[in-house]
Amino acid sequence: MNRRETLGIAVIGTGRMGADHVRRIDRVISGARVAAVVDIDRGRAEAVAAGVDGCTAYGDADEAMASADVDAVLVASSGAAHEEALLAAFARDLPVLCEKPLTPDAASALRVMEAEVALGHRLVQVGFMRRYDTEYVRLKALLGTGQLGRPLMLHNRHRNVASPPFFTSSMLITDSVAHEVDVTRWLLGHEISAVTVLCPSSSSGAPGGLRDPQFVVLETDGGALSDVEIFVNCGFGYQVQAEAVCERGTARIGDGHELVTNMAGRWGGTIPQDWTERFAQAYDDEVQAWVDATRRGEVTGPSAWDGYAAAAVCEAGVRALETGGRAEVALAERPGLYGAEV
Ligand SMILES: NC(=O)c1ccc[n+]([C@@H]2O[C@H](COP(=O)([O-])OP(=O)(O)OC[C@H]3O[C@@H](n4cnc5c(N)ncnc54)[C@H](O)[C@@H]3O)[C@@H](O)[C@H]2O)c1
């Protein structure tokens, strides 16, 4: 790949994440600029482009990708629109950072992965940004030293202040637990083989009919268990915590003890209210790593295989939720393009 000194990026989808990535590329990271923004809501794209020097707004992704200014693509449209954008980028051999999910279901994720395999080289990095979060990176490094012994269990908590109006019970799995699916695979180096979902009575804070919270148990092919409390209407903050229980010790992240105050007979700190705040450093490092790799002509980070595996596990999770039982995960064979390690 022969790329320009400063990478010209087309950001597809200028909603909450897309607009934040535009700000990040424009003002935070180095080596790239926002050359184009695309949204089916053209007015939204135009409003975002107006704040960035030399950025053109488009209503159609393929038109933006055809521009000579565009060297790489960041997909931040709604999940259902990802497949079309990814295949359009493949047709032009453009590297892509695709927000999670790769696609919303396993069949479409498999189609995307197979299309990349047919190209014979990787183009996609999937936006599982927790792999770039300082605390998760430290936990992964510690587990890698072997000091704590073999990991046996992971306990994860994932809490949001409130869910958006369109959120359904299965989206707690496909949109939220998708992150724990990826960190479980990444931290343990195992594939997930089965999923069980148990639901307590729903919180009175959950909108009518929403099964919230849920308790998800992931079984891995390495014999570990990873449980996830997902609670998307907890009301008090955005909290993501993980504890690894190993043969000789435990390690925990996400307690948020950065700033501790003592005041009026109490001690305490603050809880972030959303992911843009909690994972700001992870998003910055994720996009910088993608830009740096792309400028070197490399593709690194979570792959289309990781995106496909997460989609397959989430699909099993939705089956487990609907049946109230345990659902096994059926994965396709891992293509050689993605190496041997999970
Ligand atoms: N990594 C994370 O922590 C994280 C957090 C939030 C959202 N996300 C992901 O980011 C993506 C966007 O989420 P969001 O919260 O910004 O949603 P959003 O609804 O705020 O924005 C989506 C935007 O995409 C546009 N869009 C839809 N179809 C399109 C198409 N075919 N072409 C161009 N634009 C199109 C919509 O008009 C909208 O402006 C989703 O995949 C979501 O799962 C990731």
Mutate to test the pocket of ligand 1, among 48, 75, 99, 181 (most ligand atoms within 8 A of CB): 99
Cα(111) to centroid(ligand 1), Å: 21
Q: Is the CB of 39 under 6 A from ligand 1?
A: yes
DSSP-derived secondary structure letter, 132? G
The single-letter code of the amino acid at 15 is G
Average pLDDT, the chain: 97
The atom number, within ligand 1, closest to the CA of 275 reads: 3
Please tell me the distance from the alpha carbon of residue 103 to that of residue 304, in angstroms, as a whole number. Answer: 10
pLDDT at 82: 98
pLDDT at 2: 47
The model's confidence at residue 258, banded by pLDDT at 50, 70 and 90, is confident
- 282 pLDDT exceeds 60? yes
Find where tokens 């050689």 sit.
336
For the packed helices 304-323 and 106-119, what is the interaxial angle rounded to 10 degrees? 170
Q: Is the CB of 104 under 6 A from ligand 1?
A: no
CB neighbours of residue 214 within 10 Å: 25
Q: Is the CB of 275 under 6 A from ligand 1?
A: yes
What mean pLDDT comes out for the span 176-186?
98
The model's confidence at residue 4, banded by pLDDT at 50, 70 and 90, is low
What mean pLDDT comes out for the span 85-93?
98
pLDDT at 256: 86
Cα(38) to centroid(ligand 1), Å: 11
The atom number, within ligand 1, closest to the CA of 79 reads: 41
What are the residue boundaries of the structural domains of the chain, listed by start?
7-130+282-302, 131-279+308-335
Sequence-ordered alpha helix ranges (H) in the chain: 16-23, 42-49, 61-65, 82-91, 106-119, 134-145, 171, 178-188, 275-278, 280-295, 304-323
The atom number, within ligand 1, closest to the CA of 59 reads: 33
Q: Is the CB of 81 under 6 A from ligand 1?
A: yes
Q: Is the CB of 41 under 6 A from ligand 1?
A: yes
- For domain 131-279+308-335, say whether CATH 3.30.360.10 is its number: yes
What mean pLDDT comes out for the span 55-79?
97
Cα(299) to centroid(ligand 1), Å: 23
Output phi, psi for 75, to 5 deg: -95, 115
Q: Is the CB of 45 under 6 A from ligand 1?
A: no
Judged on CB neighbours under 10 Å (0-12, 13-18, 19+), 161 is: middle
In CATH, which superfamily holds the domain spanning 7-130+282-302? NAD(P)-binding Rossmann-like Domain (3.40.50.720)
What mean pLDDT comes out for the span 1-28?
90
Q: Is the CB of 129 under 6 A from ligand 1?
A: yes
- 220 pLDDT exceeds 70? yes
Cα(338) to centroid(ligand 1), Å: 26
Please tell me the distance from the alpha carbon of residue 69 to that of residue 20, in angstroms, as a whole number. Answer: 21
Please tell me the distance from the alpha carbon of residue 133 to that of residue 285, in angstroms, as a whole number. Answer: 8
What mean pLDDT comes out for the span 137-147?
98
Cα(103) to centroid(ligand 1), Å: 12
CB neighbours of residue 251 within 10 Å: 16
What is the Cβ-side half-sphere exposure of residue 97, based on CA atoms within 13 angstroms?
32
Mutate to test the pocket of ligand 1, among 11, 17, 73, 238 (most ligand atoms within 8 A of CB): 17
Cα(303) to centroid(ligand 1), Å: 19
Structure tokens at 171: 């989206």
Cα(60) to centroid(ligand 1), Å: 15
Please tell me the distance from the alpha carbon of residue 143 to that of residue 151, in angstroms, as a whole number. Answer: 7
What mean pLDDT comes out for the span 254-274?
92
The model's confidence at residue 341, banded by pLDDT at 50, 70 and 90, is confident
pTM to 2 decimal places: 0.96
